[in-house]
Chains A and B, each alone.
Chain A
Amino acid sequence: MFQMSYNSAGFLIFFGAFLLLYVLMPRVWLRQAVILAGNIVFYLFAGGKSLLAVLFATTVVVYAVSVLMGKVYEGFEAETAEMKPKERMQILPGYRKKAVRYLIAGIVIVLGILLYGKIGRLAGLPEVVSFDGLRRRGMMAVLVPVGVSYYTFSAVGYLLDVYWRKAKAERNYFLLLISMTYFPIIVQGPISRYDRLMKQMKELPGFSYERVTLGLQRMVWGLFKKLVIADRLSMYTGTIFADIGSYAGVEVILAVAANVMHIYMDFSGCMDIVIGAAEAMGVTLDENFRQPFFSKGAAEFWRRWHITLGTWFKDYVYMPIATSKGMMKKTAELKKSRGKRISSFAQTAIPLIVVWVLTGLWHGTGPDYLIWGLYWGVLIIVESTFAPEFRKVTEFFRVDPESYGHRLFQMVRTFVYFAIGRMITALGNAGSFVTIMRSITREARPWVLFDGTILGYGIDAQDMGVLLIAIAVVWIVSILQTKMNVREALAKQPLVLRWIVYLAGIIAVVVFGIYGPGYTASAFVYGAF
């Protein structure tokens, strides 16, 4: 089958041809038509085949449900146009009751497809990508449409936004169709807000040299992170994790650290590619990463790592539960009976546990992901509940919270938090963390760092050199990004210097990129969720 991972040669050829056709289109509607054609071609080659029908059916359901809810609220607007907000609020529940029926039907259908796949995986059924495959296996398999975890979340978010009247229902089906099937975001996100995306689709701008080069520049950066760093790191981690019982101490600690770097470079690299591809078309997607390892703690980390997933859970799960009438009432009662501290603990902890159990299950259905979700939930709850005590400790030791040493400590701690999380899921079973810890503590083996042994574990001296330099480049760019817009600064440089940098990036990807067996670029990790 033709490869269509965002880092594959197949995708780059497809995207080159697509972009050429796209920028030649003189009218918005023609550009929209090219996007739709691109979406269909991409989905077919990405493994969609007969499942394209499932995706299209989902767009029809989302359209119908959102428009029906929109009509209900038109009645509300007409009836309450002259009223004050408080009076309107008394009328609103009646309309909400009508709208909620549509909402539930829509969510059951859209989320049902995702849950069906999740439950099927949990039951150990194999995945198939076509109805034929399902028939051949006597229905003992699950159909999992490409990107279902991502577009389902966007679709549910859009339906909820319309229900809460935070977004208006779009009447133009074509706009919803091209946004929901938009090929840059379909496989791995970012989880986009369809109302914002549709607004951009309505006004797709024409060709701009600056925009196209900026977009392509970002794509090269993403390819660099993925092919030069992530895929090289995975050769080492793959060797160690495949036979964890044979390795110990430093070897395994390095594998865990490399695994953390790997997932960051892999996922954020993919996001650079897709955000860059959209940028070349004049579409601005939401950012998914903001130098997450510079975070001060666990909560901040999740505001900077997979941002669109965290925001989704905040807006559609955490806030609705935490600010619901029932929750407000219960916590007010608790405040009277048990005091402020306990009530705010309950108000924070209950919705956070729900969020993190769901976040765990979104990533995977096994017990390892459930433990992983609870691990992060508890970490964030402890961090926020005991914030006053932590502040007192730093004050007691007269630590300047802004000092370089303290900031460095916080960054290392964030890295360790994340590394523990990776250890919980790295081996794909419930005992993953314990197995890895046993290997780490069995023997220290510090000598492997100095006698060249380490260079026999999937990577050689040249790979190690490339890795160290490439990671240092990403590190320096990340530091610069906290102080300025690096891409704009680069774009302002003289033509010759600018192109030397661009060409250096392209050459680095071509020369130092890891092209796996048969030169098939390896798939991105987050596409599997």
Chain B
Amino acid sequence: MVERVREVLEENFPEIDFDSSDELVDDGIIDSLSIVGMISALSEEFGVTFPYEEIVPENFNSLESIAELIERYQ
């Protein structure tokens, strides 16, 4: 799952290095504008929707946490 998430996100956000940190949101590497775009791309690819309470920095801080989030709602 992590690799599939990487593929989708790297295609949509070539300027972001997703391996540069384990705290992508907290370190300011991805901002709220990018998170919205990421949710959009992920829901299109994996057909998932997330409740708003899941849209918190902890769930978007790394490819692993994003993959876990998708798996929870798939």
Contact = CB atoms under 8 A, between A and B. Distances in A.
Interface of A: 84-86, 89, 92, 164-166, 299, 303, 314, 318-320, 322-323, 325, 328, 331-332, 335, 344, 347-348, 384, 391
B55 A86 contact: no
Given A85-B73, A166-B56, A319 B49 contact: no
B51 A89 contact: yes
B73 A86 contact: yes
Interface stretch (B2-10, B16-24, B37-45): B37-45
Nearest to B72: A85
A508 B14 CA distance: 52
Interface in B44-60: 44, 49-53, 55-56
Given A86-B72, A86-B73, A319-B32, A164 B52 contact: yes
A258 to B, nearest CB: 31
A461 B37 CA distance: 54
A335 B41 CA distance: 11
B43 A328 contact: yes
Contact of A323 (B15, B52, B72): B52
B36 A164 contact: no
A77 to B, nearest CB: 13
B31 interface: yes
A351 to B, nearest CB: 8
Given A165-B53, A166-B53, A323-B52, A332 B40 contact: yes
15 contacts: A84-B72, A86-B74, A89-B49, A165-B53, A299-B33, A319-B35, A319-B52, A319-B55, A322-B32, A322-B36, A323-B55, A328-B40, A335-B44, A348-B33, A348-B36
A150 B36 CA distance: 27
Contacts of A92: 51
A348 B44 CA distance: 17
A164 B74 contact: no
Interface of A, secondary structure class, is helix
Contacts of B55: 319, 323
Please give me the 7 A-B residue pairs with the lowest Cβ-Cβ distance, nearest first.
A322-B36, A85-B72, A164-B53, A165-B53, A164-B52, A166-B53, A314-B32
A332 B53 CA distance: 22
Interface of B, secondary structure class, is helix
A85 B53 CA distance: 12
Interface residues of B, number: 21
Which of A165, A323, A325, A332: most chain B Cβ within 10 A?
A323
B27 to A, nearest CB: 13
A84 B74 CA distance: 10
Given A314-B32, A325-B49, A347 B40 contact: yes
B37 to A, nearest CB: 6
B39 A323 contact: yes
Nearest to A322: B36
A344 B37 contact: yes
B73 A89 contact: yes
Nearest to B50: A323
Which of A92, A320, A322, A348: most chain B Cβ within 10 A?
A322
Contacts of B49: 89, 325, 328
Nearest to B49: A325
B56 A328 contact: no
B33 to A, nearest CB: 6
A220 B40 CA distance: 48
B52 A384 contact: no
A52 B31 CA distance: 39
Contacts of A322: 32, 36
A343 to B, nearest CB: 8
Contacts of B50: 323
A303 B33 CA distance: 12
A347 B56 contact: no
A344 B13 CA distance: 12
Nearest to A340: B12
Contact of B44 (A85, A320, A325, A332): A332
A371 B49 CA distance: 36
Nearest to B44: A332
A299 B32 CA distance: 11
B38 to A, nearest CB: 10
Contacts of B43: 328
A62 to B, nearest CB: 19
Which of A85, A166, A303, A335: most chain B Cβ within 10 A?
A85
A79 to B, nearest CB: 16
B51 A323 contact: no
A347 B52 contact: no
A320 B72 contact: no
A84 B72 CA distance: 8
Contacts of B74: 86
B15 to A, nearest CB: 8
B33 A384 contact: yes
Nearest to A93: B51
Nearest to A315: B32
Given A89-B51, A166-B56, 16 more contacts: A85-B73, A86-B74, A89-B49, A89-B73, A164-B53, A165-B53, A299-B33, A318-B32, A319-B35, A319-B36, A319-B52, A320-B52, A323-B36, A328-B39, A335-B44, A347-B40
A342 to B, nearest CB: 13
Contacts of A89: 49, 51, 73
Contacts of A164: 51-53
B51 A299 contact: no
